[in-house]
């Protein structure tokens, strides 16, 4: 047994001891397009990659800075190395949260040049929570309380081939990279 995972591009990544030079946007786009949201407990397939694209599109529609649009695209990048863990369970896994925070910190440093400020993180969390509301309501058929968050782009849950999601993810990265 090895202590690493082999990524799509052939990098040997040690998730518990990641190196900034090991992160490749191609690995992130590929893996996130194949990982299903909601631990697979959804009405139809919706990838983490699609969710990240939706968050980035919402940030762009709100006319936020390119750096924040890119941060929205990358905000779940750790999941391509650790997998997606539903929020209620993730709260009970401090070691997972630490590994996720460490990877995400390095991802932001690699692709944004620095970690997010508290203000940027708060804006990103708001967008992520707004999209989660729709994911729960539509994908999981869970009626949500409170007002429906206003979105500034047209959200579609149409199922697309993973290669199309991967390509759009990479195109958005190229458009907004800093």
**Which pLDDT band, with edges at 50, 70 and 90, does 125 fall under?**
very high
Contact predicate 128/134, CB 8 Å: no
Rounded Cα–Cα distance for residues 27 and 104 (Å):
14
pTM for the model stands at 0.96
- What percentage of the chain carries pLDDT values higher than 90? 88
- DSSP H helices, 3-147, are 25-34, 48-61, 66-74, 79-82, 87-90, 94-112, 118-134
Domains and their CATH numbers in the chain:
5-176 (1.10.3210.10)
Crossing angle of helices 162-176 and 66-74, in 10° steps, is 150
pLDDT computed for residue 118 by the predictor? 98
In degrees, to the nearest 5, what angle opens at C-alpha 82 toward C-alphas 5 and 160?
100
**Which pLDDT band, with edges at 50, 70 and 90, does 178 fall under?**
confident
pLDDT computed for residue 109 by the predictor? 98
pLDDT computed for residue 121 by the predictor? 98
Q: Is the pLDDT of residue 1 over 70?
A: no
> For 66-92, how does the pLDDT look when each residue is reduced to its tens digit (9 = 90+)?
999 999 999 999 999 998 888 888 889
> For 25-66, how does the pLDDT look when each residue is reduced to its tens digit (9 = 90+)?
999 999 999 999 988 889 999 999 999 999 999 999 999 999
45 token code pair? 């397939």
Residue 137, phi then psi, degrees to nearest 5: -65, -45
């Amino acid at each position: 047994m090895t202590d690493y995972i082999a990524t799509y591009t052939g990098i040997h990544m040690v998730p518990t001891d990641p190196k900034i030079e090991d992160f490749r946007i191609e690995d992130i786009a590929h893996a996130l397009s194949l990982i299903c949201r909601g631990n697979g407990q959804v009405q139809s397939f919706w990838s983490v990659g699609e969710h990240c694209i939706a968050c980035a599109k919402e940030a762009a529609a709100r006319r936020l800075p390119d750096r924040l649009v890119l941060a929205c695209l990358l905000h779940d990048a750790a999941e391509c190395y650790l997998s997606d863990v539903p929020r209620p369970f993730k709260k009970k896994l401090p070691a997972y949260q630490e590994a996720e925070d460490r990877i995400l910190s390095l991802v932001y440093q690699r692709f944004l040049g620095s970690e997010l400020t508290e203000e940027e993180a708060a804006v990103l969390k708001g967008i992520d929570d707004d999209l989660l509301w729709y994911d729960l309501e539509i994908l999981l058929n869970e009626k949500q309380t409170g007002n429906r968050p206003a979105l500034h782009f047209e959200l579609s849950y149409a199922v697309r081939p993973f290669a199309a999601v991967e390509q759009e993810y990479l195109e958005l990265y190229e458009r907004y990279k800093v």
